[in-house]
Amino acid sequence: MKTLPFTKQQLEEIASRWPTPFYLYDEAGIRSTAAALKDAFGWNKGFREYFAVKALPNPFILKILAEYGCGTDCASRPELLLSERCGITGEDIMFSSNDTPASEFCLARKMRAIINLDDISHIEMLEGNGGIPETVCCRYNPGSSFSMTNQIMGNLSDTKFGMTRPQLFEALRILKSKGAKRFGVHALLVSCSMDEEYYPQLAAELFRLAVEIKKELGISLSFVDLSGGIGIPYRPQERAVDIARVGGQVRQEYEKILLPAGIELAIYTELGRFMTGPHGYLVSRVIHEKHTYKNYLGLDATAANLMRPAIYGAYHHITVAGKEQLPADTLYDVTGSLCENNDKFAVDRLLPACQVGDLLVLHDAGAHGYSMGYNYNGKLRCAELLVKPDGSVQMIRRAETAKDYFATFDFTGLFDDIKD
Ligand SMILES: *Cc1c(COP(=O)(O)O)cnc(C)c1O
């Protein structure tokens, strides 16, 4: 069973102040996940979560996470600037980009962020654009050599990210010769993994690598970055990853592999989805009911607000506010208004019988939700609202207006009279 932390009455009150659709984030939930992650890795001196900004790029959220010691993982100039404006600077930023433009290396270096190099050829580019820093990280792609005991890995040699093992060793050697002093290794091998073995097995792989790097290059890594990839239970029958257990198992690998080799290092993570995914909801109203060859509920939200179902066929659970106790006995396709047949939040979903005016809440939209939005069909992005632990609601991003949509034509004079 998936339940809402809000009542229908609360949602209607919010909707009377801010028209649907809107995103609602549950601050208490975000805080409890951030605290749980911190506890799970509390045994590791120097542990740090660099929140993947692309999951939920909102300054109010970044500042809440910063209270739990979280920095940011950035991959673009606007993400770097967003971090800076939240007071997150220097080595509180991991710049984990790929196919990086020279200008962004310059900015990241100017901000003294940790640079995570995606390729060996980027060493030269970085040297000419900001210079080689004292602290540097290299992204590793183990290719087909990484396998997990109870999960088939996609073939990592097909992914564009990271360096091969020989390149990684060569890159570290070159970086050391060019004056770098503190080194890290990063790897991100999965997306949305519900397997509690993923972090421990990835950590074991990177710890063994750290031992070999020390032997071959005389470099003692300062950190390994387990990056993101831990999933959340989108479906009601799925169970959440027990992060305390995961942290404990990573600790076992640490003690088994690193301690005998005399290596002490910090563990970094770059979780996005795991941190905020379950704590965000897209709230939308039924504006049409249509019965043709199927039953359709037409919402005032579209794939432009939440595109995961449209592009990945992703499951997002739906609760009809106020009808939680009614039997889900009516089969619906739940659609948006884009002139695109894939604009569906759910296909063949059993829900309680719905009417125009009902509030539908899409669960687990707190990461890679709003931020993936786009403006197709001239659809405007909606507001983001934060429900505080005391129940009060704060707007943390206003809804987009037509004026915003036309802003990139503001040199033409054609839209000057449009004010909202
Ligand atoms: C997307 C991304 C993450 C976060 O991934 P999640 O699946 O949200 O945990 C972390 N690091 C990098 C480099 C990424 O590209």
pLDDT tens digit sequence for 390-401: 999 999 999 999
C-alpha of residue 253 to centroid of ligand 1, in Å: 23
Q: What is the pLDDT of residue 154?
A: 65
C-alpha of residue 267 to centroid of ligand 1, in Å: 16
Name the 3-class secondary structure at 312: helix
Q: What is the mean pLDDT of residues 377-401?
A: 98
Give residue for tokens 């604009």: 343
The answer, yes or no, to whether residue 151 has pLDDT greater than 70, is no
C-alpha of residue 261 to centroid of ligand 1, in Å: 30
C-alpha of residue 144 to centroid of ligand 1, in Å: 21
The answer, yes or no, to whether residue 7 has pLDDT greater than 80, is yes
Name the 3-class secondary structure at 34: helix
From the alpha carbon of 96, which atom of ligand 1 is closest? 13
Cβ(352)–Cβ(320) below 8 Å: yes
User: Which residue type, as a one-letter code, is found at position 239?
Assistant: R
CA dihedral over 190, 194, 198, 200, signed as positive or negative: positive
341 pLDDT tier (thresholds 50, 70, 90): very high
Q: What is the pLDDT of residue 138?
A: 98
- Which one is predicted more confidently, 272 or 153? 272
- Over residues 166-203, the pLDDT tens digits come to 999 999 999 999 999 999 999 999 999 999 999 999 99
Give per-residue burial for 53-81: e unless 16+ CB within 10 Å, then b: bbbbbbebbbebbbebebbbbbbbeebbe
Q: What is the mean pLDDT of residues 316-336?
A: 98
Name the 3-class secondary structure at 188: coil
C-alpha of residue 75 to centroid of ligand 1, in Å: 10
Q: What is the mean pLDDT of residues 287-296?
A: 98
- Over residues 76-129, the pLDDT tens digits come to 999 999 999 999 999 999 999 999 999 999 999 999 999 999 999 999 999 999
Q: What is the mean pLDDT of residues 50-65?
A: 98
The answer, yes or no, to whether residue 208 has pLDDT greater than 70, is yes
**Token couple for 104:** 């962004």
Q: What is the mean pLDDT of residues 313-334?
A: 97
The answer, yes or no, to whether residue 152 has pLDDT greater than 60, is no
Mean per-residue pLDDT over the chain, rounded: 96
Is the Cβ atom of 228 under 6 angstroms away from ligand 1?
yes
Verdict on whether the full-model pTM lies above 0.95: yes
Ligand 1 atom 5 nearest Cα = 228
Q: Which of 56, 118, 270, 308 to mutate to test the pocket of ligand 1 (most atoms within 8 A of CB)?
A: 270
Torsion of CA 129, 135, 136, 137, to 10 degrees: -150
CA dihedral over 129, 63, 96, 135, signed as positive or negative: positive
Q: What is the pLDDT of residue 149?
A: 59
Q: What is the mean pLDDT of residues 17-25?
A: 98
Cβ(278)–Cβ(232) below 8 Å: yes
Is the Cβ atom of 137 under 6 angstroms away from ligand 1?
no
In the chain, % helix, strand, coil (3-state, to 5) comes to 35, 20, 45
Q: What is the mean pLDDT of residues 140-163?
A: 80
Is the Cβ atom of 96 under 6 angstroms away from ligand 1?
yes
153 pLDDT tier (thresholds 50, 70, 90): low
DSSP state of 379: P
Q: What is the mean pLDDT of residues 327-335?
A: 98
Q: What is the pLDDT of residue 135?
A: 98
Q: What is the mean pLDDT of residues 379-399?
A: 98
Is the Cβ atom of 229 under 6 angstroms away from ligand 1?
yes
